[in-house]
Structure 1
């Protein structure tokens, strides 16, 4: 007997259609050039940096090497002395005298340059007719050749035909032996260095003045502050980091000053203008004491580093304050 109700057909549940997700294109392979692009800031200046380091490493390293030896040139190899040159320098009165002359010259010249440079920057920051031309003329000494400048100033300091004695005598003053007087020779050299490099201080301070915010000056003007009060209370504190940078640049360069002293006085009269740089030059190349001269140059390098470290920390403190 047939079933009145046929058995239900067992069917599988419907299968959902497969979803085909779009396939991502394969990532392009990174070539060697693509990988080097990440380090281009280091790779591009590397050749120039290597050349500069190589050019500096050999003379500095050879100078330090010779400072432990004694050598007078020729085919004879340098003789190792250990720390003899170091102990000799500590007991050398002329060495300490040359350091004193270096500090005297640097303090006087950089002090004058900062005063004149800041004053010129304040002047040229104002608007007046012919400002651009005057600023250009003020910068001329900075681009002149130091040896040529020294020759011109040497003639100007001449006690018989020099223009300075002519001006002094015109106002009833005595004849001055500018570069032949032990008391006047360092100030005379500082005048030459100031004439050459005060424009550099002016440019640095002028850039700092252009970057100062105008709001404090407007507030000072509203409060009725005068020019001197504004300069002391606002301009000078804001310019302190910039002035310290200018002082640092000039200190490092003034310590190494050689050309104008060599041309104008050659360390004279006697040794009255013989700075550490010139004393090292004479010991090494005039007296052929290359080892001791190298030790003096090591002292000069340490002096420059010490000044740079001190003023870098002063500038960091001024920015934090």
Structure 2
């Protein structure tokens, strides 16, 4: 059987000329998949965003009218604020707790491996199952959280049933699930930190906080930035936990862009408007990701800054 990548040769004026291998038979299937799964859906979404298209009604081309409509939609701006607030809390809390957990689990103590395995179990559960369990825990009358608060004399809270506490309550669930991921990333960074700077610092009389502040933290900061990028992208597009627990409620208090987009497309059947929303949301995600990647690129992996 002939090899598709085998070079061939022919003669020009008596001199042999070799042709480069032909790799297209191997590249073409992957290219077709990328075009079908990634490129075409986005091109089609952009095309839909330029149309006034409600299911069951005639479609008409409106150009940028859907984007102009977004600009004047207060519910969209409210959902954007909810998204950014939810993302900020869902990134900062896991980063802090995950880094703290990594520092704890980096030390040597009995049953460290077993406790690590227990700690990472939340991120293995499915989001919908987590949402159902936490919804029962958040119940104002029957939930275990209010029972625990009553034991120490704290009044019962409404948690996800109060507009003022619904987003922090959802963030608590997100933090519980994804703090282990941050811990694993930072723990990998701690494992790569050399011991020589710490030995020199101990000789100079530096305490634990000074060693952490001037040696450990700068060296693991690139790993923390990687965790921040992953958490930011994941929190921005979070949908399953929010939808399963609150559906964007009470009212629209926890309605993020994803929830509003879903309702617009599949409850109101406004396909054109929801497509424009999806394009804007994609641009926001790309912009934030690029900012974080630029910050990440400015950090060094192997030396402490501040010289």
Normalised by the length of structure 2, the TM-score is: 0.89
Change (3 A) 1:259 1:220: same
Aligned partner of residue 78 in structure 2, secondary structure = helix
Distance (Å, rounded) in 1 between the aligned partners of 2:65 and 2:120: 46
Q: Partner of 2:174 in structure 1?
A: 193
In the alignment, does 2:79 pair up with 1:107?
no
Aligned length: 290
Worse-superposed segment, 65-74 or 90-99: 65-74
Distance (Å, rounded) in 2 between the aligned partners of 1:117 and 1:42: 45
Distance (Å, rounded) in 2 between the aligned partners of 1:41 and 1:128: 54
- The structural deviation recorded for 1:32 is 5.4
Matches within 5 A, 1:301-320: 301-319=282-300
- The structural deviation recorded for 1:47 is 3.6
Q: Partner of 1:138 in structure 2?
A: 119
Q: Partner of 1:166 in structure 2?
A: 147
- The structural deviation recorded for 1:60 is 1.7
Aligned partner of residue 156 in structure 2, secondary structure = coil
Change (3 A) 1:43 1:183: farther
Matches within 5 A, 1:200-219: 200-219=181-200
Matches within 5 A, 1:49-88: 50-74=32-56, 78-88=59-69
- The structural deviation recorded for 1:41 is 9.5
Distance (Å, rounded) in 1 between the aligned partners of 2:4 and 2:89: 57
Match 2:262 to one of 266, 281, 287:
281
Does the 8 Å CA contact 2:198/2:215 hold for their aligned counterparts? Answer: yes
Does the 8 Å CA contact 2:50/2:272 hold for their aligned counterparts? Answer: yes
- The structural deviation recorded for 1:40 is 9.7
- The structural deviation recorded for 1:145 is 0.5
Q: Partner of 1:179 in structure 2?
A: 160
Q: Partner of 1:33 in structure 2?
A: 5
In the alignment, does 2:244 pair up with 1:272?
no
- The structural deviation recorded for 1:187 is 0.1
> Structure 1: which 5+ residue stretches go unaligned?
1-30
Does the 8 Å CA contact 2:4/2:25 hold for their aligned counterparts? Answer: no
Does the 8 Å CA contact 2:247/2:255 hold for their aligned counterparts? Answer: yes
Change (3 A) 1:226 1:160: same
- The structural deviation recorded for 1:44 is 5.7
- The structural deviation recorded for 1:58 is 2.4
Task: Tell me the alpha carbon deviations over residues 220-241 of structure 1, each in whole angstroms, 9 at most, x when there is no partner.
Answer: 1221211111111111111111
> Structure 2: which 5+ residue stretches go unaligned?
9-19
Distance (Å, rounded) in 2 between the aligned partners of 1:63 and 1:81: 14
- The structural deviation recorded for 1:64 is 1.3
Distance (Å, rounded) in 2 between the aligned partners of 1:135 and 1:141: 12
Does the 8 Å CA contact 2:4/2:22 hold for their aligned counterparts? Answer: no
Change (3 A) 1:168 1:224: same
* Bigger Rg over Cα: 1
- The structural deviation recorded for 1:78 is 2.6
Change (3 A) 1:172 1:284: same
